[in-house]
A = this chain, B = another copy of it.
């Protein structure tokens, strides 16, 4: 049996030959993203189903949920497995220096993992580091499809992320993603050690977020029930925290804001002849700012993170110059449109300061001549590498996303791949600090962006995965881990692992991924939080 599969593997290994001539960089452990330091220990420990228990030296609701979840994931083929008397019972020890559950940018995610014949241990400074170790440990539990058996790979791992900001933009506006789908997405992010969900909640086409202060905002829904409630937000933030994932909302202003005007038309500029989709908020009207202050004051406390994304991209600024009332206001203040935009952003800063939040804005705001406070604003660069260099030269901290557009046919320019899914290779090659010679340390990380014009619950997973695995590894692993040939089979195997966990992550080359006979994909979280758990998780920042 083994021989014949070996023959097959030999045959189709030829398919992978195309990039064989790259530099060697050994990657003996089948873990994604690849850890910083790996020492193989030459043993494999046979396991029977359910033979792993996990104990921790600290008490933490958040950590215990993470542990429960992994215990449900280790053995996807429970019913088929042949229990073997010779297999071991494993007790994995988590030794964590602090029980502080604070989750914020720059939290220590490092861990040390040791598995050998008689030691099964993860050491970490924080519960979030321990979770990263748990994911690595999960991937070291290997299912052998031919033998229908499990084993645990021995290794010593020292690991930490290269980038502290590893995000995925989830667009809840172009198509409505129900709460359970968002939780399902968070599962897939956690498996990939992403640590930031950029929740693009509203856009021109819809405002799917409940407001008690301004209930008419949700007149701009795509359809009945297509609304994220306050309770939904709390559950999403709590669930993400059980993966060490920060949730950062984006309320994109003053452009991309037509949906605000469905219920509150007085918020919008009035520039006849411009398409409705391009009409921005009215920067001259004090009502705009009191409205934003009231709304942000209502919504921001639902999110625990100190960052708050106010967008700023693709403003059709000429609309302001064609609104007679705004024209008059600009003339009175001796403003040109750039000054008007500066005024708008300054007012936002006042509001954000009052609610104790740090602004994130898209980089094209800067291209309109606006200046931000460098200490309190993070710039997200989405346009191109030259603009990134400008942002850095101006002294801003930044995160990049222009490399990582999951919606584009050719994500990085005109690079052509025969097979569409091979665009993962472009993501993989796109280290955010690549070709950056000054202030590179101000690049905090990157974000994969899944803008939602052509994705809904129905096809989200298959669009994002396995391509975004390449991004997760690029942002976590060492820069030197960049050999596509070596990464390909490892990523292929992890993609199979993800599909066994319920994520529709397809293959990258001809291979065999055994899946349960009654396979189906649903769109809900692996672990269902109770109301009490949500409260406990959120009681501290």
Contacts and interface: CB of A to CB of B under 8 A. Distances in A.
B423 A510 contact: no
A245 interface: no
B417 A409 contact: yes
A499 B462 CA distance: 14
A202 interface: no
Interface in A497-541: 499, 504-515, 518-523
A42 B200 CA distance: 42
Contacts of A504: 458-459, 462, 504, 521
A515 B458 contact: yes
A454 B223 CA distance: 34
A275 interface: yes
A506 B455 contact: yes
Residue of A414, A459, A504, A521 contacting most chain B CB atoms (<10 Å): A459
A58 B462 CA distance: 44
A518 to B, nearest CB: 7
A420 to B, nearest CB: 4
A484 interface: no
A504 B457 CA distance: 9
B456 A506 contact: yes
Interface stretch (A8-16, A123-131, A312-320): A8-16
Nearest to A147: B224
Given A14-B275, A462-B504, A507-B458, A220 B8 contact: yes
A84 interface: no
B462 A222 contact: no
B458 A4 contact: no
A525 to B, nearest CB: 14
Contacts of A175: 507, 510-512
A205 B510 contact: yes
A419 interface: yes
Interface string A471-497: 000000000000000000000000000
Contacts of A509: 453-454
A174 interface: yes
B408 A409 contact: no
A54 B275 CA distance: 48
A409 B407 contact: no
Given A452-B510, A454-B507, A507-B454, A224 B145 contact: yes
A334 interface: no
Interface string A216-232: 00011111111000000
B507 A12 contact: no
B522 A519 contact: yes
Contacts of A166: none
A454 B508 contact: yes
A268 to B, nearest CB: 12
A416 interface: yes
A353 B453 CA distance: 52
A381 interface: no
Contact of A262 (B8, B422, B519): B8
A522 B517 CA distance: 10
Report, nearest first, the 7 A-B pairs whose CB atoms are least far apart.
Answer: A459-B506, A223-B512, A462-B462, A520-B522, A222-B512, A459-B462, A409-B420
28 contacts: A4-B220, A4-B221, A5-B223, A8-B222, A8-B259, A11-B276, A12-B277, A14-B277, A15-B277, A173-B510, A175-B512, A222-B512, A224-B514, A225-B514, A226-B512, A409-B409, A409-B418, A409-B420, A409-B423, A419-B454, A421-B454, A453-B509, A455-B506, A458-B513, A463-B506, A520-B521, A520-B522, A521-B522
